[in-house]
Amino acid sequence: MIIEKSSFLDSLYMTTITISTVGYGEAVHLSPAGRYFTMVLILSGVGLVMFIFGEITKSIVEGGLQSVYGRMQMKKKVAGLQNHHIICGFGRIGQVISRLLHEDGKPFVVIDNNPVEIARLTELGYLFLEGEASDDELLTTAGVKKARSLIAVVSSDADNVYITLSARVLNPGLFIMARASGEDGVDIKLLRAGANKVISPYYIGACRMAQHVLRPTVTDFIDLTVHGGELGLRLEELNVSDKAIWANKTILESKIRKNFDLIVVAIKRGGGEMIFNPNPETIIMVGDILVVLGEYEKIKELEKEV
């Protein structure tokens, strides 16, 4: 417009066909000064436009490749899991379960199909698979055949039943815990589908609130021992293997109280029998599960011997 005194439209048209490399022809007759300007425009404008398009293409391609690579790496890590926990659903309950397992250093993988929850899982760095948890192929990818347990906590009772049925068929020996809404008959259906344990958060929450009113000191003590707190005490369960140096010995002979300052609160036998407050002469057998109370560091020391 300045050099050739042309109109805005003609100047815009000339600039557009130049930097787009179309070049239909000169709409305005160019003087030597106009031609010099056009050459500068070609070298700078066309290069700038190509650079911008290149960066846009690069970000799209790299983003897609990174997403594909991330999914491949995730599946590879999940494939390497053994004796882990599978959490179906990353709602409010699934998030709490995942956080507690993560804090305790337990391996787990989450299955969810909600894009919002997938983004949250990515941000937290948890292992996850995207899709329907009732899908047999997805459960197999999550390692259901070599998992320690499966926890079905999606919002729908029907979905939890389908997940339980699928998981039970794929792994008959798997421990399955399922969430129930509290409606009549739902817990029975989940048990029939193959769940080992059915939990109703609403019922448990109501009982917990009632116990806080009726027995506040007892519930406070349980909270301190189960979740840790000012007392520094923990209730923990330990599996007795055949490598335990005090297997097949009495509690007194094991010197658990003397050496670790821990109290054996209960012993669960391999057959399911529960012995509460066992006396010092109770024999600790291979396959038993000890429920001990004491400092967390001491429990970890004892764990090395079982």
Query: Can you give the pLDDT of all 306 residues of the chain as single tens digits?
Result: 888 888 888 888 888 887 777 767 776 778 888 888 888 887 787 778 778 877 777 766 655 555 666 677 888 899 899 999 999 999 999 999 999 999 888 999 999 999 999 999 989 989 999 999 999 999 999 999 999 999 999 989 999 999 999 999 999 999 999 999 878 889 999 999 999 999 998 888 888 899 889 988 888 877 777 665 555 678 888 999 888 888 889 999 999 988 999 999 999 998 888 999 999 999 999 999 999 988 888 888 888 887
d(CA 88, CA 180): 13
**Could you tell me the residue range of the domain that residue 153 belongs to?**
81-205
Name the domain boundary from 175, 205, 235. 205
- The DSSP letter of residue 51 is H
Would 2 be classed as within a structural domain? no
**Coil, strand, or helix at residue 203?**
helix
Same domain, 128 and 162: yes
Q: CA quadruple 224, 228, 232, 235: dihedral positive or negative?
A: positive
Q: 217-252 pLDDT, tens per residue? A: 888 877 777 665 555 678 888 999 888 888 889 999
Same domain, 228 and 299: yes
Q: Which residues contact 24 (CB under 8 A, 6 or more apart)?
A: 17
**Coil, strand, or helix at residue 94?**
helix
Same domain, 94 and 189: yes
Same domain, 153 and 180: yes
Q: 33-57 pLDDT, tens per residue? A: 888 888 888 778 777 877 887 777 7
Domain count, the chain: 3
d(CA 89, CA 93): 8
Same domain, 195 and 262: no
d(CA 270, CA 287): 6
Q: Which pLDDT does position 61 carry in this prediction?
A: 62
Compute CA distances 182 → 187, 189, 207, 251, whole Å: 8, 12, 13, 41
